[in-house]
Amino acid sequence: MSRHLAVRDIDWPLVLIALVLCAVGVLQIYSATLDTEFHSAWWRQILYVAGGWMLMLVIQEIDYHTLLQYVPGLYIGSVLALVATFGLGQSAFGSRRWIPLGPVHLQVSEFAKLVIILLVARYLTELRTEVLEIREMLKLAGLVLIPTVLVLKQPDLGTALTYLAVLVVGAFIAGLRWKYVAVITVVTVIVLPITWAFVLQDYQKTRWRSFIDPERDAQGSGYQLIQSQIAIGAGGMFGKGVTKGTQTQLRFLPVPHKDFIFSAFAEEHGFVGVVFVLALFFVMVMRIVQNGQTASDPVGMYICMGVAGLLLFHILVNVGMVAGAIPVTGIPLPFMSAGGSSIWSSFLALGLVNNVRLRRFVN
């Protein structure tokens, strides 16, 4: 490293929080998969975390201004990879999202999130205006919608919505006029019936119905949500202890080491454990925002705020989903849910934040 890029300048509290969350996730994965066919998931997760750490170190060394020069190529490559997923992808849980690469199954849509962050940052910075006009907003929205539609077709509504979350955060920071926000809101409301009729898959419509009334099909579409709420409530103040959660260990809660890991964690660690984890996530997001505020240029700020918006969206949707506050969308909890692609993309996102931080004093 040069004298400008000292190891001490890395946001170590941010990295430490991520590693603590990963450790909590590994422990919960071990507990949730005990005596099941998925029991190897916990040590695989450790390997994924180690790989994510290495990816973070690599990405933070490449000047983010250099990365921005390759955004067009990265964007085109991401779109082509998403298209290739339809032919080469492996189907699981009703979706075709993963491309098998030997022992690893790569979820391209997870890494496309980072490309969207860089795309939005570069586009908004190059405008060099204090107010984002609707014409420019529509151009950017068109670019983001292409990978969004491809991911929707997999189908994967949760991941597709994360792309839109990055777009919305960037647009508000860029100064989108409130009258345009009002127009976009009205248009969104108008197209909702069309989206319901022609865009949403049958299983996605079923999830909305189950969200409104899970007891309507308690043994079918509403089963997972009901069991999740029971698990969270059963945790009480201090939880039932590791490997002692009845909903989790007796397999009432389906696949509790992935998207519903927060339910299993709440049952075994209770309200105190939930507050601890949510506090860690809160501090993580706030530190990323702080790094954005101290960035040396607008593009660095957009990158950090894009990462903050992405992680915040993941956290709010996942926790709200398992608690029954919003419909089930199948979105992982960052740094905790089992899965290599999710862990790697999350660490790459932190690498981008540290990338900006390391260069905040460099002209």
Give residue-wise pLDDT tens across range 28-83: 999 999 988 888 999 999 999 999 999 999 999 999 999 999 999 999 999 999 99
Cα 34 from Cα 194, distance rounded (Å): 44
CA dihedral 216, 221, 227, 228 (to 10 degrees): -110
Residue 195 is classified by DSSP as I
Tell which residue, 353, 345, 348, has the closest CA to residue 97.
Answer: 345
Cα 140 from Cα 167, distance rounded (Å): 8
Cα 265 from Cα 231, distance rounded (Å): 9
The residue count for the chain: 363
Determine the distance from the C-alpha atom of residue 77 to the mean position of all C-alpha atoms in its chain, rounded to a whole number.
20
Contact present, 232 and 323 (Cβ < 8 Å):
yes
pLDDT at 216: 75
Instruction: Determine phi and psi for 107, rounding to 5 degrees.
Output: -100, 100
pLDDT at 1: 42
pTM above 0.75, yes or no: yes
pLDDT at 145: 95
Stretches in the chain below the pLDDT threshold 50:
1-3
Cα 99 from Cα 94, distance rounded (Å): 15
The DSSP line for 59-75 is: HHHS-HHHHHHTHHHHH
The span from the first CA to the last CA of the chain, in angstroms, equals 16
Residue 213 is classified by DSSP as -
Cα 346 from Cα 339, distance rounded (Å): 11
Give the burial string for 222-257 (b: 16+ CB within 10 Å, else e): bbbbbbbbebbebbeeebbeeeebebbbeebbebbb
Which residues, including other chains, have CB under 8 Å from residue 119's CB and lie 6 or more apart? 71, 74, 75, 143, 144
